Chains A and B, each alone.
Chain A
C-alpha cells in the first residue's frame, strides 16, 4: 500500500471516530472514546515495545499513576487540563527514574520487572490511604454538563491525545532516535559498537511510552469521576496493550492503530454475541492471529494470498 493511501485511510478513520456524536448513539460514542484511548496507549507502548523491542508490561502502572496524579492535583484545585499536563510530566519523570533501573535487564527479565512495576505502584497507592483513599478510591471533581456534552468533550480530548502520540510516533520514526532504537531492537551489542548510547536511548523510549499513558490515565479519571486501585491498575489492560500492538505490527507507525481497532471491534462483536464465552473466544482468536501472523496484520502478504486463491481456482479448469 502506498504511504499516502495509509495516511488518507488514517485520516478517514480518525474523522469517523471524531464524528460519532453526529451519526450514532451514545453507546457508539463510548466505544469511539475507548478506541481513541487504547490507540493512544498502544502507540505509546510502541516506543519501547515496538521500536526498541523491549516487551514492557508497565502500561497499567503508567495509566494508573497518571489517573491518580491527575485526580489528586484536580482535588488540590488545579484546572483539569493543567492536571492532565502535570500527570504527563510526573509519569514521564517516574518512568525515566524506574527505567534507569529496570532497563538493565533484557528480554523476559525486563518483561517480568515491568510487570513488577505495576504491582509496586498499585500496592503503594492502595496502602497510602491518607493520600489516595486506599481501597475506597477517589472521587474526582465531575465535569458539569449533560451526558451528551461530557461524552463529546472527552471524545475530543482522547482523539487529540491520540493524534499527538501519533505525531510523536512519526517524528521518532524518521529521526535519529528512531533509527537508534531500531538498531537496539535488532542487535543491542552491535548498536553499542556503532556508537549508540543505548542506555540513554532506552530510557528516552521508556519515558516516551509512559508519559502519554499518564495523560490518558488522568483524562480517564476526569471522565469517569471515580478511580480506585483495581480499576486503574488492571492486569487485563497491561496485557491487552502489547497484544493489540502485536496484532497490528509492532515497530511501525500504523500497526498500533490497525491492531487496536481490530482488537476492540472484535471484542465488541464477541461481547454482544457470546455473553458467556466471549473471553474464551477472544483468547482463541488472539492465539490464532499471533500464530499465523507473526508480523501483525500490516505485514500479512495479502497479494500473495489472493494470487494463490485465484490460481487454485484456475488449475482444475486447466487440467480438465
Chain B
C-alpha cells in the first residue's frame, strides 16, 4: 500500500479569506475516497490546488513521490492527475468523439501522439462510457447526463492514475445516477484511484471506502463512510449545533 497522492499542511487564502486551512491527507493507490462538506467548504478549491488551477499558499502536494505544488494544469494532466468539472467544460463546436480525442492526444503521455490513434482510443472510451452512438454529434447537443459522461470519457482517455470527480452526479435523475454509479465502479476496477467530491450521501455511502469531511476549509474528520455519517462533528457541520443537540438528546432518551 503506497500513497499516490499526498497533501501536507496545504493552505490557500484568497485575500483575507482562508479557503483551505492546514489540510493533510493521503490517497492510497486504487481506493475510492469521498470528499464531502457543506457548500463553500473548499472542496473545489482543494481540487484546484491539486491540479494546478490555483496554487497552494503554503504546504506541499506530492504525487507519486514528486513535489507538484507549483505545477500547471497541463502538467497535472500529463502526469496522470485528471479531473472532471462541476460545471462541464466541453469544446462546444467539436464532435463528442473529437472532445474525447483531445484528452487522448494531449493528456495521455503513453499515446503515440498522432491524431489518428487518439481517435481510435477515444472511440474505446466512448464505448466504455456508453456514448458510442453519440460520437459524431456536436458536444453542445448532449443532455446534461451526456455531458457529464463526456467529461468522464475525456478524463479516462488521458489514462489517469488519480481521477477527481467534482460532483459528476449533480443534476442527474435517480436512474441516471444508478448508471453513473456502475460506471464509477467499473473505472475503479481498472485500478484508478478516485477522489469523489459529492453532495449525495447515497453515492458516497455506496462507493467510498473512506470519507474526508471538509468544513470552513479544514479537514474536520476522516474515516470509514458509515461512521462518518454518525460523527457529531459532521452532523454539526451539515445541520448545525441545535440539530446535533436534539439528535443526541433523542438518542439519550432512547
Name A residues whose Cβ lies closer than 8 Å to a Cβ of B.
Answer: 174-176, 179-180, 182-183, 186-187, 189-198
Q: Check if A190 sits within 8 Å of B74, measured CB to CB.
A: no
The 6 closest A-B pairs by CB, nearest first: A195-B107, A195-B77, A195-B106, A190-B89, A186-B91, A192-B73
Contacts of B105 in A (CB 8 A): 176, 179-180
CB-defined interface of B17-59 with A at 8 Å, one 1/0 digit per residue? 0000000000000000000000000000000000101000000
Q: Which residues of A contact B83 (CB under 8 A)?
A: 193
Contacts of A197 in B (CB 8 A): 74
B78: Cβ under 8 A from any A Cβ: yes
- A193 neighbours in B (Cβ, 8 Å): 51, 53, 73-74, 77, 83, 85, 89
Closest Cβ–Cβ distance, residue B160 to chain A (whole Å) = 11
Rounded to whole Å, the gap between the CB of A196 and the closest CB of chain B is: 5
Interchain CB contact under 8 A, B107 and A186: no
Kindly state the separation between the CA atoms of A198 and B53 in the bound complex, as whole angstroms: 13
Distance A195 CA – B111 CA, assembled complex (angstroms): 13
Residues of A within 8 A of B103 (CB): 194-195
Which residues of chain B have C-beta atoms less than 8 A from A192's C-beta? Answer: 72-74, 77
Most chain B beta carbons < 10 A, residue from A174, A190, A193: A193
Write the nearest CB–CB distance from B230 to chain A, whole angstroms: 37
| In the complex, B179 has a CB within 8 A of chain A | no
Interface residues of B (CB under 8 A from A): 51, 53, 72-74, 77-78, 83, 85, 89-94, 98, 101-103, 105-108, 113-115, 154, 158
Tell whether, in the assembled complex, residue B89 and residue A176 are in contact, meaning their CB atoms are under 8 Å apart: no
B72-A194 in contact (CB<8A): no
**Complex Cα spacing A176 to B117, Å:** 11
A198 / chain B contacts, CB cutoff of 8 Å = 74
Please tell me if the beta carbons of B106 and A196 are within 8 angstroms of each other in the complex.
yes
Cβ of B110 to closest chain A Cβ, rounded Å = 12
**Nearest A residue to B116 by beta-carbon distance?**
A174
Residue of B nearest to A175 (CB): B115
**Distance in angstroms between the alpha carbons of A187 and B113 in the assembled complex:** 21
Q: Are A174 and B115 in contact (CB under 8 A)?
A: yes
Name, among A176, A180, A182, A187, the residue most crowded by chain B CB atoms within 10 Å (CB to CB): A187
Minimum CB–CB distance from A202 to chain B (whole Å) comes to: 12
Residue of B72, B106, B158 contacting most chain A CB atoms (<10 Å):
B106
Closest B residue, CB atoms, query A251: B93
The answer, among B51, B78, B102, for a CB contact under 8 Å with A183, is B102
Question: Please, which residues of chain B bring their CB within 8 A of the CB of A187?
Answer: 89-92
Within the assembled complex, what's the spacing in Å between the Cα atoms of A186 and B72?
Answer: 20
Q: Which residues of B contact A174 (CB under 8 A)?
A: 115
Most buried by B among A191, A194, A197: A194
Is the CB–CB distance between A196 and B90 below 8 Å? Answer: no
A-B pairs with beta carbons under 8 Å apart, 20 shown: A175-B115, A179-B98, A179-B105, A180-B105, A183-B102, A186-B94, A187-B89, A191-B106, A193-B53, A193-B89, A194-B74, A194-B103, A194-B106, A194-B107, A194-B158, A195-B77, A195-B106, A195-B108, A196-B74, A198-B74
